[in-house]
Amino acid sequence: MTARFFRGEFTYKFPLSPGPKFLRLYFYPNQYPGLDITSSFFSVAANNYTLLSNFSAYLVSATSPPQAFIVKEFVITVGNKQMMDVTFAPSPNSFAFINGIEVVSMPANLYTGQTYGSLRLIDTNYFFELENSTALDTAYRLNVGGRDVLDVHDSGMFRTWNQDIDYIFGAASGVAHYDQSEATIKYTEATPVYTAPEAVYKSYRSMGPNPYINFNYYLTWLFTVDSGFYYLVRLHFCENYLQKVNQRVFDIFINNHAAEKAMDVIAVSEGNGIPIYIDYVVWVAQSENELWVALHPNAESKPEYYDAVLNGLEIFKLNNSDGSLAAPNPRPETKPMLKQKHSKEGRFLKPGKVVIGATLSSIVSILLILSLVFWQRKLFLCRTESINRRKVSPNQCRHFSVADILTATNNFDDALIIGRGGFGNVYRGHIPGIQYEVAIKRLNSKSHQGENEFWAEIEMLSQLRYINLVSLIGYCNEKQEMILVYDYMVNGTLRDHLYKNDNIPLQWKQRLQICIGAARGLEYLHSGAVQRIIHRDVKTTNILLDETWVAKVSDFGLSKMGPVLMENVPITTKVKGTFGYMDPEYFRRLHLTEKSDVYSFGVVLFEVLCARPAVDTSLEDDEVGLASWVLKCVENETIEQIIDPYLHGKIAAECLKVFVEIAKSCLHDVGVERPKMRDVVGMLEFALELQEAAGAKQAVEAGDTINHAPTMDELV
């Protein structure tokens, strides 16, 4: 791979026709002979704009997900009789480098120079004037609901449109619709053919077919951005199947502010298959570094479908008053490792012929690829070879070889699978040298989220030992395998014994004891560990039962650590968890506290009482979500009608009253009004005492003698 290096300031001068241009800079931060790429820091300016300042391609490439090469795309307007000057200036005692430069002309007013009054400034009553002189830095360009659109398939300007799945957050990701080849896109004067390729308008993401679920969540995308800048947010829409006004109407929110109320794509576009886009400008303050876009059905319009839709999304950073687009380099959590092999599918440039220019319709494209020679653009595919290996003390948990795992699972025999999930499969097995059975969880190689969860769980569980927490025995991270080894829980998950199975139903007292054990595990995480831990995915499938029916909280892949000795201090973070168990306050405000676990545990308590899932889409709309349905039943005093039929007549009235009150308090909409887990433990223990007292009273009245409290085995 060739590149041009600079020990001093160096300027390229490009004679261009006036108008807006895409300027793309290509960096491949590999090791080059005689140079330490980790010490390369430099600035880049174009005409009067600072594009990069003290930039390190090495540090940027090491951020998650790691990148083999970097493409920085800018929009710069060239004036009359003006050249485009691109200047590279090394930082003191450093050097600059560049692997490729690309300049592509674009139509006037595609992004800049829009008429005043057409751009709303979010969270104000003002409009924003985006002048031709404004420089833009492309932050994100997404084909929402579709696959990646490579530059050669763009509408003439060699833009790359990435799929959106990596930027969706929240438990519900909606439904992706792509490859609708039968759809006909009818471009207009307002939305010309070069605005976005047909692939963008033929694919989309909607919320899904269930109106109840849709009305209780926001279809949301979250983006990391640089603080202290204005951003242009462009949303692309096209209804390919709906035909009438008021069939699908929704609200648009940007950074928690209403950007558009009652958006009806058919009404705005005036027809089916007609693409449109809407632009907004939002300010991201110095204290923030996230930008999010959310869609939600508009109930006031009473549309035919309670749904929302988005086809494409573009986000651009706008230069500040000093003409700068520069931001600090990222700070990786761990020291980045140079990747000698490509780690991300993408395009790069290969030495070849000089390309002077080409004409495409009315769009003039000038391709200037520079290194030690001029280059011609080509494509290549590459695979990820490296794994983010974090250091885990051998005293904390054991490292197993792939050979050990293959022996234990009989080469991952499907007959030994005891569980399946988004992370991958869980196998039952015997590892040489360990006398007891173990559970082996294998990361699905196609899971992007699993790698982070893998290391999070190792780091978390290797420091925790408690009777009501699952024990991590060890791990394996060889040959691209990521595997966790736990104690095997003979009786499976709590959910296995509540519904949709052939297991003998649990007695009420046994359910209480299991709930108490799980609550103690969560209490230990919140206040017993040196650093408080928020589980963030409390549910019945993450409560395991050992051979004596002791409950153990499991699956710490989504857990977050909070400040030492500080309770209920919110952590601002992306929303993750499981739909039906998720704290609505956490979802709305992005503030995670221990009370988020309390809410989820409240859902678990009612799941134990009613023996039904947290979300059941086979039921009537108002019964789909267990949390909202059970609260309505409590309010109407009809709770006994939805209790597990097996438990009818087996729960003491006093115990039931206390249990329902505990669970109800956990589901309070406001987090600070919910009890702490230590209080939940105490109240559950009190409920158990009431149940035992009622049982003893019945036995005495029947003339029986109580010699001892029944054991777990007797209760089964």
* Residues that are catalytic: 537
CA distances for 514 relative to 470, 546, 685, 705, 712, angstroms: 14, 11, 11, 27, 10
Residue 406: φ, ψ to 5°: -65, -40
3-state secondary structure of 210: coil
With a CB cutoff of 8 Å and minimum separation 6, the contacts of 258 are 251, 252
β-pairing verdict for 276-284 and 229-237:
antiparallel
243-257 burial: b if 16+ Cβ within 10 Å, else e: eebbbbbbbbbbbee
Report phi then psi at 598, rounded to 5: -60, -45
Paired residues of 483 in beta bridges:
442, 476
Q: For the chain, first and last CA: distance in Å?
A: 68
Cis peptide before 65 (omega within 30 of 0): yes
Using CA atoms, how far apart are residues 498 and 494, in angstroms rounded to an integer? 7
Helices (H), 372-475: 402-409, 448-461
Handedness of CA 240, 245, 247, 252 (dihedral sign): positive
Q: Is residue 186 a known part of a binding site? A: no
Contact 522, 597 (CB under 8 A): yes
Distance of CA 435 to the CA centre of its chain: 39
Query: Which of 472, 491, 492, 498 is CA-nearest to residue 557?
Result: 472
Work out whether the CA dihedral 44, 50, 51, 55 comes out positive or negative.
positive
Where in 168-289 does DSSP place strands (E)? 168-169, 175-177, 204-206, 219-224, 229-237, 250-254, 257-263, 276-284
Please say whether the beta carbons of 514 and 543 come within 8 A.
yes
Residue 694 to residue 700: CA distance in whole angstroms? 10
Taking each helix axis from N to C end, the angle separating 508-523 and 594-610, rounded to the nearest 10 degrees, works out to 170
Provide φ and ψ at 660, rounded to 5°.
-65, -40
The interaxial angle of helices 508-523 and 677-701, nearest 10 deg, is 160
Rounded to whole angstroms, the Cα distance separating 307 from 266 reads 14
**Binding-site positions:** 441
Binding residue positions for ATP: 441
